[in-house]
Chain A
């Protein structure tokens, strides 16, 4: 491990692929600009040929130049084609190793290792990716990192430490998870975005010429077509989720949580227990109705360019009631009880009003301009009101020993458990109108990857806000 080593040559293919992906739009643009006449075409092919040769050459060169080694308790990486760069990362600074296998890596029996440090002040500088190294090498690095963090233990003794299994996804869970995931929306919007980009290519005008003369059967055709499109998008999202979360498995070692997942592309994420900043339970409305939830761990790792490293799925799908039973014995610091103090009744009207702020002008305008058809927008109003009431019902808080629990709804219902010593700052707000009703809002910030996250409960009782504030304050005068 102490000699400089190169990555597996498959990296060349990966790099070439990545650079092509980055350039593909420029190629397409060039194609449209110069694809006129023979001379233009000649220039076009010339430029593309030069670009391809340049990409292949630089990819090979950058592979040749990229070396890594473990030396003096540092991971030392040297790379760069024109500008030579050296990046030395002290092993004890490494927060987590994220091991994944893409399809290409699997073909050669390699793994990709992402090395994450604390993320600093938002730069992604102190982060490195070893795109293809052998599994043994990855394991050796992993063990060295672990040993560097606990000087009392040698490499060997760490390797022997016990593993407690926490969770393995079952087949039915995987199916329910895929069916209830919000991935559909993402796929649909991606498809829509794609088609809006193709405006110039697809002759919409010719397609839709004479729309006025279309009869009902054509309209039904279009509706069926759109509907079919949505079904296809949904199935794609479904398969995507299944592939991503297949074989989902969580184990706990002495000091880390190790999560592995994925069928085609395997991923393994290691989260040091001490880096956990908060635990979050998310329930989207369908899952909530079915009694299911997902649990995320918010950790301090990750960087600006890689938010994935900081909000990690711990249990993708689980019955809400079972969470405490499953996680309780392993995350002993946390009390995962889910009974909450609600916000006071007088806050309801404010929740409803807030949900109306944006929608009421829209409804008013559509009734004013569209007359009878505008009345349909009242359905929207009803939906927003319902959502406001839902937000009110879901808002809640609870103080446990050295722990703040907050529950609130944005789109999904979130329940956040934060230990007192992980709260970066606490904010209470009281507007003029809140003051008149004796209400206040509370927000707690934790460090998650780059920047913060946390939880916010709006319109709590003033005295409750005061209690939490005093609880967090280290000044005795603030406590009653």
Chain B
């Protein structure tokens, strides 16, 4: 279709996503374990437990291995003088164009896991929408924020 944006997000994002996937999955394993425990106590049908474990195994694979790497492969972005372009999405590929003149403000945010890996997300806000570029190198996120906010200021138009 169209030319893909060129820049990729940090390779370490993959690790971060795997960790947060693992946390989610760990919680769901605990819930599934509790469910199986109660099923056992109340003599529930055995096949439900089997099904639960099967589903847990599949989602462990999906959330820790498959989805993060697909997501990482898809994620591209470009920040040009006049616009920002994003590409994301695993099953549905989404391309977004944000003209620089429409950018209202830029934030960088950093959760505990991101900080551990010296990564940060950049959030670009227009008057109507907000867009996240996840898990960039801290320094890159910082310079991107300066770059965008400078350009956005230059191109100050009325909404």
User: Chain A residues in contact with chain B, CB under 8 A?
Assistant: 118, 121, 274-275, 277, 300, 421, 423-432, 435, 440, 445-448, 451-454, 462, 465-466, 469-470, 472-475, 477-478
Among B1, B80, B96, B159, the residue within 8 A (CB) of A475 is B80
Tell me whether B92 and A430 are in contact (CB under 8 A).
Answer: yes
Given A431-B91, A475-B80; A448-B128 close (CB under 8 Å): yes
Shortest Cβ gap from B89 to chain A (Å): 7
Task: Assess the B95–A469 pair: CB atoms within 8 A.
Answer: yes
Per-position 1/0 for B17-49, Cβ under 8 A of A? 000000000000000000000000000000000
Which chain A residues lie closer than 8 Å to B1 at the CB level?
Answer: 430, 440, 462, 465-466
Q: Closest chain A residue to B97 by CB distance?
A: A426
Interface residues of B (CB under 8 A from A): 1-3, 80, 82-83, 85, 89, 91-99, 101-102, 125-129, 131, 157-159
Given contacts A429-B94, A473-B97, A474-B82, contact A424 B3 (CB under 8 A): no
Nearest CB of chain A from residue B130's CB, rounded to whole Å = 9
| CB atoms of B128 and A427 under 8 A apart | no
Q: Which residues of B contact A477 (CB under 8 A)?
A: 3
Given contacts A431-B92, A452-B128, A466-B1, whether A425 and B97 have CB atoms under 8 Å apart is yes
Checking B80, B125, B159 against A300 with a beta-carbon cut-off of 8 angstroms, the contacting residue is B159
Check B97 against A469 for contact (C-beta < 8 Å): yes
With CB as the reference atom, state the residue of chain A lying closest to B94: A429
Closest partner residue, chain A, to B92 (CB atom): A431
Q: Could you name 23 residue pairs across A and B whose Cβ atoms are closer than 8 Å? A: A277-B159, A300-B127, A300-B159, A421-B157, A423-B99, A424-B98, A424-B129, A425-B98, A425-B102, A426-B96, A426-B97, A427-B97, A428-B94, A429-B89, A431-B92, A435-B93, A445-B129, A447-B126, A448-B128, A453-B128, A473-B85, A477-B3, A478-B2
Judging by beta carbons under 8 Å apart, are A425 and B2 in contact? no
Distance in angstroms between the alpha carbons of A308 and B133 in the assembled complex = 33
B82 contacts which chain A residues (CB < 8 A)?
474-475
Partner pick for B128 among A425, A430, A472, A478, CB 8 A cutoff:
A425
In the complex, the answer to whether B96 meets A118 with C-beta atoms within 8 Å is no
Question: With a CB–CB cut-off of 8 A, which chain B residues contact A426?
Answer: 96-97
Chain B nearest CB from A248 CB (Å) reads 27
Chain B nearest CB, measured from A276 CB (Å): 11
Residues of chain B with a CB closer than 8 A to A425's CB:
96-99, 102, 126, 128-129, 131
The 3 closest A-B pairs by CB, nearest first: A452-B128, A447-B127, A474-B82
